Amino acid sequence: MRDFYPEEMFRRRWLEDLWREVSLASGLLEYDGPILEHLELFTAKSGQEIAEQLFSLTDRAGRGLAIRPEITPTLARMVNERAASLPKPIRWFSIARLCRGEQPQRGRLREFFQWNIDILGADSPVADAEAILVAIDLLRRVGLGSEDVVVRISSRALLGALLEQAGFSPKQINMAYRLLDKRGKMPDVVFQALVQKEVTDVECREALERIASYRTLEEIQSQSGITDRIRVAAQELAEVFNILQTFGVAEYCRFDIGIVRGLAYYTGTVFEIFDRAGQFRAIGGGGRFDDLLKALGGPSMPAVGFGMGDVVLMELLAEKGLLPQIHQSCDFYVVDIDPSLFGAALGMVASLRSAGKSAQFSYKRASLVKQLKLAANSGAKYCVILGEETTDGGLVTVKNMANGKQVRLELKRFLADPGQVVE
């Protein structure tokens, strides 16, 4: 689990704020759910193997619970509960704290924060493309260009149709999915050895290697004798790429038949985001999961979405020098020239805060020069100085910390409306 010292917390909040801004700009609504869910909610979606990848417990009532390793099942449960009354399409996002009981390693920690956006109730390829667009919008906001990152896009439906034509049984297709999902995560020689071990049929092995060698959609579409399933799936994916071109983000995207996504519930378009240099794990990924809500007891509803974690993205931004530096700021710093005015300073601080302004002060009495230095270090926009003019004439001096200009104002008028300060 993770500690967040002020600098890390500042950067975490910075990223969360950007996630939220991009989501709201895209017209998405925010949701959240409990950090504990029924264990069966995850095993029903991803299989029993996920039980080894999360933190689970049995409560006093004997129920199997789990700290959520992802939030998509929670989304499905919540939508299923109100499916009939929710206006379609459902366009939601979340910023969730998640935990996985795995061995910590670079880019993969036991505790992480993940931004999820999902569009449910829309089967149009426009929804697939928009999900990718939202992810790219965030990448652009943090300073990553198409020379830095790439969205590698494929289709589970297309890959499944290619494998089916090659003679793979449904069981063998699932095995091929698992193999291809591991392809980019290990050296090529190790992957080839794994294929040799898992695919004992020579013809199937050759077919898998041929399919894995495709580099463009056009290469697949130009093949003679392809089935209608292949043709339709390829056309659907081509339409997604056409829409991404219209959105103006095509330079971020490329076709990659090897993108599968490890979770079994994906049904169509799938994508993962990587740094161009290939130094890091996937920054994020997602795809279409049209059958998930029905599998969890709800109605049949098309859906597409993605998740983007904080860990890999922060590592990449640190590598690129794009992380913000922590800085303090406040509206006013209140200074008292004479210790006898300390009570008045405290009263002013309270009044400013009540007026909705941020205000700080020094606990220890110090010289004017030292207090002004403390004000500068606090990032204050203005310094309010209480001195003889305050005692004798009910006035305060307000200093603009950016340009050094000072104005003298009536104390009562200033407290009545601190926002009147003119820069």
Q: Does residue 178 contact residue 194 with C-beta atoms inside 8 Å?
A: no
Give the integer Cα–Cα distance in Å for 322 and 226.
46
Closest CA to 255 of 245, 246, 263: 245
Residue 421, pLDDT > 70, answer no
Residue 423, pLDDT > 60, answer no
pLDDT given at position 245: 98
pLDDT given at position 135: 98
Domain residue spans in the chain? 6-33+71-320, 330-420
pLDDT given at position 216: 94
Residue 264, pLDDT > 80, answer no
Residue 422, pLDDT > 60, answer no
Q: What is the chain's percent helix, strand, coil content, to nearest 5?
A: 45, 20, 35
pLDDT given at position 181: 82
Query: What is the model's pTM?
Result: 0.88
Instruction: Please give the share of the chain, as a percent, with pLDDT higher than 90.
Output: 70
pLDDT given at position 202: 85
pLDDT given at position 45: 61
Give the integer Cα–Cα distance in Å for 199 and 159.
17
pLDDT given at position 146: 97
Reported CATH class of domain 6-33+71-320: alpha beta
The secondary structure element, H or E, covering residue 377 is: helix 368-377
Read off the pLDDT band of 263 (50, 70, 90): low
* Concatenated DSSP letters of 199-234: ---HHHHHHHHHHHT---HHHHHT-TT--HHHHHHH
Give the integer Cα–Cα distance in Å for 264 and 123.
19
CATH entry 3.40.50.720 includes domain 330-420? no
Q: What is the mean pLDDT of the chain?
A: 91
pLDDT given at position 265: 80
pLDDT given at position 178: 84
pLDDT tens digits along 154-202: 999 999 999 999 888 888 888 888 888 877 777 778 888 888 888 878 8
Dihedral sign (CA 66, 72, 73, 78): positive
What is the pLDDT averaged over residues 247-260? 95
What is the pLDDT averaged over residues 335-345? 92
pLDDT given at position 360: 96
